[in-house]
Amino acid sequence: MNAPEIGSNKTVIGVGPNATMKGKGLRLNAVSNVVIRNLTISDINRGVIFAGHAVAIARADLVWIDHNRFHSVRRQMIAGGFGPTTNITISWNDFDGSDTYSSYCNGEHYCNLLFLGVPQTITIANNYFHEISGRAPHIDGAQAIIHLATNYFHNTNAQQSGGFFHAVDAGPSVQALIEGNYLDDIETPIKTGSGHIFGFLGKTSGTVQSICFSVLGRRCIENIAIPVPRINGFRPDETVIQSFGALPRSSIPLPFSADDVPAVITARAGPGHLENR
């Protein structure tokens, strides 16, 4: 049985906090205006074969993936590509990578979010990434504009497992605004060689903030990493802010303080919290 295909102008919403799809994911192909909320999607080819996405998106516009939990998925938890992938919002999800059958035999899932579409406009905000070793997210392809905001990256057993290898892995053409995230014991927040990145750890200069005010009409929010990583990849690439200047300001959410991220995200991400946004 193939993964169910969701058509345009459809909402898939779980009833109650324990609504679950096991063994199959969802496919969105050549669609617009789709909402997926309040589901646990799990146990896709677990321990069987390296295949099967939880949500596969191709040639899609206006997709909202919100308050779901992803667990025990053999390939990507969310995969996007093969044509335009635009106006995609991924919010308040619990990406639980704990898995006996992991790529690096460390109990942590590696293939999490992969986006290869052309063009791409994607917001990844207020999500909980844990027990994960990479691709959070991996983004490539020309004309990719990504906003990564107020996400919580955390591994419970980082010392035993070898740690979270990397979070963001961006191709050379990607424009990524990264702000308000909390990175807890993350070895490499941004993989070396990633594309155009605008983001910073801790406070930044007035000059950098003036760029944010001039284009976004607001300050950019600092990220927190504890401990400070040896290689972090954060930098204030002004071309990123200019690319966001072409978007409506109303489409760019204002992150809250990174100091509040761990408590807020662990309390409100995942199924059963639709009232908390």
**What is the Cα Rg of the chain in Å?**
17
Catalytic residue among 75, 135, 235, 277: 135
Q: Which structure tokens are listed for 259? A: 């100091």
Asked if 68 and 96 touch (Cβ cutoff 8 Å), the reply is no
Backbone angles phi, psi at 43, to 5 degrees: 55, 50
273 Cβ contact list (under 8 Å, min separation 6): 67, 92, 267
Q: What is the rounded distance in angstroms from the CA atom of residue 251 to the CA atom of residue 157?
A: 36
User: Would you tell me how many other CB atoms lie within 10 Å of the CB of residue 167?
Assistant: 28
Question: Rounded to whole angstroms, how far apart are CA atoms 202 and 40?
Answer: 34
Is 135 known to be catalytic?
yes
Q: How many CA atoms lie within 13 A of 205 on its CB side?
A: 5
The residues assigned a catalytic role are 135
